[in-house]
Structures are given as C-alpha cells and as structure tokens.
Amino acid sequence: MKRKFVTNLILIILLNLLVKPLWIFGIDRVVQNTVGMKEFGFYGALLNFSFLLNILLDLGITNYNNRNISQNHQLLRKHFSNIVVLRLLMAVGYGLITFAVALSLGYSGRQLNLLFFLVLNQFLISFTLYLRSNIAGMQMYTVNSLVSVLDRTLMIIFCAVLIWGKIDGFTFSVEWFVYAQTAAYVLTTLICFMIVARKSRFPKFKFDRRFFMVILRQSFPFALLTLLMSAYTRLDAVLLDNLIRPDGDTQVGIYYHGFRIFDAAYQFALLFAVLLLPMFSKMLKEHQSVKELTRLSALLLFVPTIALAAASQVFRTEIMDILYTDNITESATFFGIIMTAFLGMAGTIIFGTLLTANGNLRILNITSAIALGINLLLNLILIPRYQAFGAAVSCLATQGFVGLSQFLITARKFRFGFDFRLLARLLLYISGIVLFGWVTFQVEWPWGTEFLGMIAASLLLAFLLKLVDVKAMFILIRDGEREGDF
C-alpha cells in the first residue's frame, strides 16, 4: 500500500503542479488585479457565504461513501442511482435555504444574481467530489488524478479567452469569471458521471425513501464534521465583511490576497487526503498496520510545508508586492501569519484523515466544535479592532489547536510510540531553516534568488537528515510493496 501511495502521489502532484500554479498565478491573480480589490472582495464575500451552507449539498455522504466503497466495492452498483436522486433533492434544499438567508441579510440585485451562479457552482463541485469518491473508492487512482485537474484546466482555457481574447465590445468582470467556472464545472461533472455510471451499470434513477433515511443517518457524523470544518475555515471572510462597515469589501480583498496562496497550498495538501482516505480505510478493514504509511505521508507533507511557511514569512512583503498592486503592507502581514497557520492545517490533513477512516467521528466533531468556538470568539474580539490582521491571528490559533489535538489523539488511539531520534532530526531541520532565513538578511541578492535558495537549502537539509528518503522511495516503487522503515 505504501508503494501505491507513493506512485499515485507523485502522479497527482505532477498533474497539479502543471495546472494549479498556472490557475492561481496566471488567471486568479490576474483577475484580482484586473477587476480591483473592492470588486474581488465583493465576489469573495459571496463565495464564502455560499460555502457556509454547502454542507446541505452533501451531508457527509462523500466521505462516508469514500470509506464505504473502499471497503465494499460491490455497494457501488446498489447505492449509486439512489444517492444521485438524494443529492439532487439536497441541492434544491440548499439553494432555497441559501437564498432565504441571503434575502434576510438584505442581499439584492447584483448580489443575488452572482450568488445564483455561485450556488450552482457549489452543487457542481459537491456532486463531482461525490463522483470522484466512487472513483477513488474503486481504487482507480490514475483516473481520479486526471479528473482532479480537469476543471481547473478548462477554467484556464475559458478565462484566458475572456481576458486576452480581445473580444469586441467585451469588458471582463467578476461575473464572467464566475460564468467561466460554471462552464468548466458542468463539463467536469458530466465526464465524471459517465465514468461512474459505466462502472455501476447505472440503469435508472431511483427514489427510495427508506434508503435515503439510512444513508443520511449513517453519514450524519461526517456531515457534522464537514459543517464544523467549513465554518471555522471560511467564517473569517464573512465576519470581516459584516463586522467592518463600510470597509468590509476592502478588508476581504486584503484577506484574499493572502488566503489565495494558503488555499492553493491546501489544495495540494488535500491530494494526500484524497489518496489516504481509501487506503487507510482498506488497511484498517484488513487489520493492517497504518503506522508506516502515516509516518511516511506526514513527513512528505510536513517537510516542505515547514520550509514554505518559513520562506513565506521571511519574504511576505516581496511576494505580495510582485503579485498585487494594492494594500501590500496589510496583505503581507496577513499572509505571513496565515501561512504559519497552514502547519496546523497539514496536521488535520494527515491525522484527521486517519481518524475519519477509523470511524472516530465523535472525537473529530468535538475537536472541530471547540475549534469553531475558538475561531468565532477570537474573530468577534479581534476583527473590529485589528481587521484582517485579527482574522489571521484567529486562523493561526484555530488551525494550530486542531492540528495539534488531532495529532495527540491519533498517537494515543493507534499507540504510535514517541520517536526521539525523529524529533531530534525535526528540531535540527527547523533550526537549519531559521538559520537559512537569517542568512538571507545578510546577503544582498535579488529576493527571488534568496527565496528559491532558502527553499532549496531547506529541502537539501531534509534529504541529508533523511526526513525525506528519496532512495528508499525509489526502491519501494521498483520492488513493490514491502514492510520497512523510512
């Protein structure tokens, strides 16, 4: 299983490295600068609002289904047609409730028009993720890797035409940005549906009320977990928009300057969870030890994450200055803090995924509920006084609590022994990164050279300390699955 994890992780990371940086820096950044901070803040606030209730589109079915199909492949044919109908009904409910809340908050006109397409996009994203959970559950990792970048690839093509196509009489706006996303999501959803329908021998849609109730009851803990995680991750921007008047849109724009890169890093880290959840689920059902796979995946994620967080802190102003044109100082402060918070998010990706595969939903929901309370309390205290900076501090405290608590719970439940030698190597690695950061202040090279040099030196140190053992991974890929230490 470790061999399968490494080979598919390499494939999915390579695909995403080809596509997602182009989307983030070639399209998304250009859109932010083209429409302006206030306009993009208007879009960002509505986007986060559409996220807050999107749990109603899924109710935990995707994670439940991923774990269930990974352990019982034969259930795909039995469940698929019923779940498709159930999700369509849930989509109607999500749309109605979202618009009811929007109207009660005073949304009108242009806000409602853009929100309609954002709501549609949320449905398409959620439905595609459900379809991909079936693909992953059937152990079709290569296919899942390819479709994971399909939507972004299509968006790049559509947005490039709109931005640089020089269409007569056309003016690019955030609305067209959203329309391009909708078109890409529609095509991706259709392709994924055809793949899963073929595997399940999809005969016809079914309406089975008893089946719906069973699925919703079993997926409820997953739904609650998704709701809590979405809330403590996405609440910041919504509170910024509503607690600060009339400067809310501008503060959300500052928030998104830093959060976009945080979110991009999260999308890459999420690739680990996409691979690990079905693998962990299958291994646990077959009573295999997950210790080595957990250790391997944690090191592969944390080592570059630590280097990225440190380099982002050191060069926060330079990064924001080269990417954006407005509010650079405020954006840089926010960015430095939130990239440090990503270390906690990385812990959730690995250890939260293992606990989910093991069915420890109750403890995950408890920690997530506490995290939501921490996030809400800190935001209410800090945002009115410190604005986007306050939201960043809240994010750091929340993500740090979640990542650390889930690590400790995982170590206790799976009886992972304390490895003092590994801890010593990690501390030496972190000390080395701090030293590299100090050195960059002493030399007068172009900052881009210093940034890349710091990242390269950090990764080289990781190889020397054997935190990332490339030779062992190549042997693993060549010789197949075997047990051993990395």
Q: Assess if residue 476 is contained within a domain.
A: no
- Determine, yes or no, domain membership for 456: no
At residue 109, the 3 state secondary structure works out as coil
Retrieve residue 178's tokens.
């959203």
On whether residue 453 sits in a domain, the answer given is no
pLDDT digits 0-9 by tens, 328-377: 888 888 888 989 999 999 999 999 999 988 888 899 999 999 999 999 99
* Under 8 Å between Cβ of 301 and 265: no
* Residues 190-231: tens digit of each pLDDT: 999 888 887 766 666 666 778 778 777 777 887 788 778 878
Cα–Cα distance, 64 to 215 (Å, whole number): 9
| Position 155 pLDDT exceeds 70 | yes
Give the HSE-up count for residue 312: Cα atoms under 13 Å, Cβ half-sphere: 24
| 304 vs 38: CA distance, rounded Å | 33
pLDDT at 480 over 50: no
3-state DSSP assignment of residue 245: coil
Of the candidate ranges 30-34, 91-95, 137-141, the one whose mean pLDDT is the lowest: 137-141
Is residue 287 assigned to a domain? yes
Could you tell me which residue, 483 or 174, shows the higher pLDDT? 174
Residue 289 φ then ψ, to 5° = -70, 135
User: According to the model, what pLDDT value does residue 484 have?
Assistant: 37
Question: Is 329 a domain residue?
Answer: yes
* Cis omega (within 30 of 0) for bond into 304: no
Give the model confidence (pLDDT) of 294-320 as tens digits: 888 888 889 989 999 999 888 988 888
**What is the pLDDT of the chain when averaged over all its residues?**
82
Mean pLDDT of 232-250: 75
| Within a domain: 345 | yes
Q: Is residue 474 part of a domain?
A: no
User: Any residues with CB less than 8 A from the CB of 39 and at least 6 apart, and which?
Assistant: 173, 174
The pTM of this model reads 0.70
List pLDDT tens digits, range 410-423: 999 888 877 788 88
User: pLDDT of 407-454, one tens digit each?
Assistant: 999 999 888 877 788 889 999 999 999 998 888 878 888 888 888 889
Number of domains the chain is built from: 1
Structural domain range at position 265: 2-417
Would you say residue 73 lies in a domain?
Answer: yes
pLDDT in tens, 135-151: 876 767 678 778 888 99
- Which amino acid, 439? V
